[in-house]
Amino acid sequence: MKLLVVALAALILAPAAAHAQTNSPDPFLWLENIDAPRSMAWVEQQNARTAKRLESDPRYAVFHGEALAIFTAQDRIPDPRFRAGGIDNFWQDGQHVHGLWRHATLASYRMVAPQWETLLDLDQLSKAEGKNWIWKGATCLKPEERLCLVRLSNGGSDAVEVREFDTRTKAFVPNGFRFATGKQSLAWLDSDTLIVGREWTPGEVTQSGYAYVLKIVKRGQSPREVFRGKPTDVSAQPIALYGPDGRTDGIVVRRGVTFFQSEFSLLADNGPVRIPLPLKAEYQDHVAGRLVFALKEPWRGFKAGALIAYDLAELERDPAAARPQLIFQPRPRQAVQDVRASKDRLIVDLLEDVKGVVDVYGFADGRWSVRRLDLPKDANINLVDAADQTHRAFVEAEGFLDPTSLWFVDTASEETVKLKQLPPRFDASKDLVEQYWATSADGTKIPYFVIRPKAAPLNGSTPTIMYGYGGFEVAKPPIYLPEMGKIWLERGGAYVIANIRGGGEFGPAWHEAALREHRQRSFDDFAAVARDLFKRGITSPRRLGIYGRSNGGVLMSVSMTQHPELWNAVVIESPLIDMLRYNHLSAGGSWMGEYGDPDKPADRAFIARYSAYQYLKPGMHYPEPYITTNTRDDRVHPGHARKFAARLQAMGYPYLYYEQTFGGHANDADPELNARRWARHYTYLAEKLMD
């Protein structure tokens, strides 16, 4: 009875305690100063303590070796990108940690062992220039695609340096286009002309740190401004519209008013001209003379989730008179995942009940026709790349227990050919995949996947990792995770993906259901899945651990503080946690459409109800979390993770903290770093859930 009274008192006092902390000074604000000596000394101390604990565990070396073998394996599928009639690939392994940008003919790529030609060796470049160059891609001038704008990040941050590269001479172009490090977007207009969005003068960026001014840059001439958004915007980005011959047919400007609201304009000689669209719409591609958009809200008789097309010529003549045409309207359990153009065809990657299918649309005689591609069933399908000057495309198919396969697609004939198959990285013969539905607090049915040993007893004893994200309309379908299978499943563990609201599993409505003041629904969904696992006997609180990163870090920290009784391990990676200051940290200002604006009293009130940094309370029995981030993460500020750990420390709670000093938000900039990262994760999880 006494315990019940204490528990009820804690629940009653929780909102008041959280409110008090939101109005008190932040004693750990100094940890937001990323590279300050005091901050880095704290990081070094934390890293040493955590490394001593986890890396001295005998399992760490084993897990590290298994992960490194997977990440550096020579029989991985080389990720293909169409360029110049052949295939580009960026490759990293144990000998090429920074990586090789390389090229092969299409005929060679289709062979078991392609003959690669190295274009740029980033290990050599890093050594020569004394930098830690991380590859961020290249944009090449059509139709020849010889000249490319290469994006390089020093340390893995989103900010990149851009240099013009000649793929024929395999060298940077002397006196070619070059732009200093920054968050920037560029597109070719012709061989001597670019349209560029960047920080042209110091401080000329939005609150989120992105460009809002676009300029035309011609060789040897001063840049000419063609578009100016507002400092209160998220960003402004140029989109060049290339025809099938590679010529530029026009320019669209995307002005990000908020993260989910955009204005699209055609850039005409007399300035930008708005395209009639709702604010919640996203540009997809340019095909058959038409601009394709995805609607994220109902508009003009179209439902949310619809794909629509505008005739470019009609827009150029009179935008007000142009009429959009429906391409596809998803059903309630469908969601558009990706859209790509392949010459005069449109490829649409769909989820149906959180499993992938691909449709190809053609346009003729004023109407759209559709054919479904013959691809593996009950799998996740990813569009890898599509050639905009031919009917060629690549797609990947994968499942939790099915290694990734690469398929070559002819979008004209709808022919599909399996080109490459990843060898199994773990023994999946003893495992099975199940899909269940949990009932959330408001009665909504929440789907989730369970991957577990067939022989696992349903008595709550199976060590289980549950993953969640639940934000930004990002779906989490079946995926082949070789390191998880090798390190966790083979040792008798189970893995769960909870497809909670806030994600994109069922389109815009599934996302909208957990926006802003409705965020608690995603946390309730996650807890409901855990309870459903217990009910089915799959696992128990003693054996259940949770993992999430980025937006999933909000989910993990809130789950830890709201429901500490449901789990025994919590991995919080690259997280947002201090939700009352997130909009002032790194790119946080761009996400207020997702979470709300904590500087507005009404929004601050509902954010304060869950913000885990302020929600921590004394006298609780929190599971010991493992908190990890990256010093060079310029998307989600490392201060979130640092301050949460510091507050736990000050309150006397156990925790582990580790901060990788390079790699950026993705944390996988090189295979060795990634192997150490996952070895620490799984060592912690094994200690908590298997011991």
Q: Give me 605's structure tokens.
A: 């009130």
Q: Tell me the C-alpha distance between 609 and 597, whole Å.
A: 14
Residue for token digits 């969640």?
Answer: 468
667 closest CA partner among 180, 134, 151: 134
580 closest CA partner among 667, 643, 533, 510: 643
Q: Tell me the C-alpha distance between 667 and 315, whole Å.
A: 42
Q: Tell me the C-alpha distance between 634 and 616, whole Å.
A: 26
Angle at 658 between CA 654 and CA 659, to 5 degrees: 145
DSSP assignment of 48-98 equals HHHHHHHHTSHHHHHHHHHHHHHHT-TTSPPPPEEETTEEEEEE--SS-SS
Q: Give me 364's structure tokens.
A: 């003729």
Q: Give me 363's structure tokens.
A: 């346009």
Q: What is the rounded end-to-end Cα distance, in angstroms, of the chain? A: 32
Max CA pair span of the chain: 81
**Cα separation values, 485 from 396, 397, 458, 492, Å:** 19, 17, 20, 10
Answer yes or no: are the C-beta atoms of 160 and 181 closer than 8 Å. yes
Q: Give me 641's structure tokens.
A: 């993770």
Q: Where are the beta strands (DSSP E) in 424-534?
A: 431-439, 445-453, 464-467, 494-498
Residue 143: asked if its preceding bond is cis (omega within 30°), the reply is yes
SS3 204: coil
Give the amino acid at 226. V
Q: Give me 430's structure tokens.
A: 């003893």
Q: Give me 128's structure tokens.
A: 């020569």
Q: Tell me the C-alpha distance between 679 and 686, whole Å.
A: 10
- Relative to beta strand 464-467, strand 494-498 is parallel
Q: Give me 316's structure tokens.
A: 């150029």
Per the annotation, the verdict on 563 as an active-site residue is: no
Q: Give me 224's structure tokens.
A: 């000419």
- Which of the residues 342, 405, 550, 557 is marked catalytic? 550
DSSP assignment of 578-595 equals -TTTGGGSGGGGGGHHHH
683 closest CA partner among 53, 39, 20, 162: 53
Answer yes or no: are the C-beta atoms of 619 and 607 closer than 8 Å. no
Give, for 555, the enclosing helix (H) or strand (E). helix 551-562
Per the annotation, the verdict on 550 as an active-site residue is: yes
Give the amino acid at 444. T
Answer yes or no: are the C-beta atoms of 635 and 589 closer than 8 Å. no
Q: Tell me the C-alpha distance between 446 and 238, whole Å.
A: 38
SS3 680: helix
Answer yes or no: are the C-beta atoms of 187 and 194 closer than 8 Å. yes
DSSP assignment of 304-366 equals TT-EEEEEHHHHHH-TTT---EEEE---TTEEEEEEEEETTEEEEEEEETTEEEEEEEEEETT
- How large is the angle between the packed helices 551-562 and 639-650, nearest 10 degrees? 20
Answer yes or no: are the C-beta atoms of 146 and 170 closer than 8 Å. no
| Share of the chain residues as helix, strand and coil, in percent rounded to the nearest 5 | 25, 35, 40
Answer yes or no: are the C-beta atoms of 527 and 541 closer than 8 Å. no
The residues annotated as belonging to the active site are 550, 665
